[in-house]
Amino acid sequence: MNRLLLVLSLLAFTVSGSLGALYWQALETRRELTARTVALDGQLTASRELASSFQKQAVTAGAQVEITKAQLATAESRTAQLTTDLAASRAALAAREAAERTLRDELSSLQRDLTDTRAQAIPPAQVEAYKNTIAELERQLATAKNGAALPTAAGASTAVFSSRAGRVSANVMSIGPENSFVVLNYGSIRGASVDQRFSVRNGTEILAIIRISDVRSQFSIAQVEPDSLRGVLHKGDLAVLTP
């Protein structure tokens, strides 16, 4: 009986020791789990703060992207405008150079015609008319080189030649002594021929009838029919071809 009690006592002591060890092991495990939980909570908080920071950075980056897109669109629009302006400037420069070439060609032609008139001993009044025309061309050429507006059509340097409503017309460039003849900005390159008749007008009033007697490439000389003269002729008067 005593032996049984001893065995039971030993067994109880052993179980009690095991339970004590398990209790302390459970406490230690609980402390470790608590510490790990606190650490994980700290890491979670840090992760949330980092995620919030990343989100703010993403919003800022998105706004910056939109600003950059707007700036890029503005730059592209500006580039397109500059390209258009450059093309217009090049076209204007080409037109100016073409007009200058036309002026130089007309000036050279008139200078040759002046040389021919001197060789042919044409009356001084006609020579003076040619000189005046050449001086006008030289003035316009100098104006063109200085960057001023140029005539927009060939032959416009001496006056305006046009065909209006089916009528061929020209302008008087100069007038001979006592309205005996006129010089027209109407030459062979525009279809001028000897004996063509024009009525010289100032507005609706017919001042005289003229007949072409000499044709050059850029201009013509027309004699005034004395019986037709109804007033004083002026430079710039309109001459209309008559049937």
Those residues whose C-beta lies under 8 Å from the C-beta of residue 180, and which sit 6 or more positions away, are: 125, 223, 224
Q: Model pTM? A: 0.37
For the domain made up of 162-241, give the CATH fold: Thrombin, subunit H (2.40.10)
User: Which residue is listed with tokens 């490439």?
Assistant: 217
Q: Which pLDDT score is estimated for 161?
A: 39
Q: Which pLDDT score is estimated for 211?
A: 96
The low-confidence residues of the chain, meaning pLDDT below 50, are 149-165
Whether 236 contacts 170, CB under 8 Å: no
Ranges of each domain in the chain: 162-241
Closest CA to 140 of 129, 154, 128, 151: 151
Backbone angles phi, psi at 205, to 5 degrees: -85, 130
Q: Which pLDDT score is estimated for 63?
A: 81
Going from the C-alpha of 69 to that of each of 58, 63, 65, 74, the distances in angstroms are: 16, 10, 6, 9
Per residue in 225-240, pLDDT (tens digit) is 999 999 899 999 999 9
Backbone angles phi, psi at 157, to 5 degrees: -70, -25
